[in-house]
Amino acid sequence: NKQFKKPDFLPKGWCVIPIDENDITITHHGKYIQTVMRTMLDRKVSYKRLFMSRMNAEDGEKALRKYKLEWVQKHNQIAKKYNQIKKKQYMNFAREE
């Protein structure tokens, strides 16, 4: 199949979807602002909070956005490597059948 040989082919259920760097959300909760991400080990939801008593909202949002952007880049780098490994395993299973 030509579909399997395409470099951008990722089998569903076998891959981690990369995160778009434009999809960073930061929510304001009065005394603090936060962003949400998943942990790398067990994929549980984790929150990164920045309290307004430490810095003003603009600086806090910039710092949080910078932190999240760095996290997204690391996530995508790991996801790309993981997807390559899983695609190779998937193709080996397909060849065996």
**Sequence letter at residue 14:** W
In a domain, 6, yes or no: no
Query: For the segment 7-65, what is each residue's pLDDT rounded down to a tens digit?
Result: 677 777 778 888 888 888 888 888 899 988 877 677 788 888 888 887 888 888 899 89
Instruction: List, in sequence order, every beta strand (DSSP E) within 1-97.
Output: 27-28, 32-38, 45-51
Examine residue 8 and state whether it is found in any structural domain, yes or no: no
Number of compact structural domains in the chain: 1
Whether 58 is covered by a domain: the verdict is yes
pLDDT at 77: 94
Residue 19 falls within a domain, yes or no?
no
If one counts every other C-beta atom within 10 angstroms of the C-beta of residue 6, the result is 9
Q: Is residue 13 part of a domain?
A: no
Structural domain containing residue 89 = 24-96
Task: Tell me whether residue 56 is in a domain.
Answer: yes
Q: Is 47 helix (H, G, I), strand (E, B) or coil?
A: strand
Judge whether 4 lies within some domain. no
- CA-based R_g, the chain, Å: 18
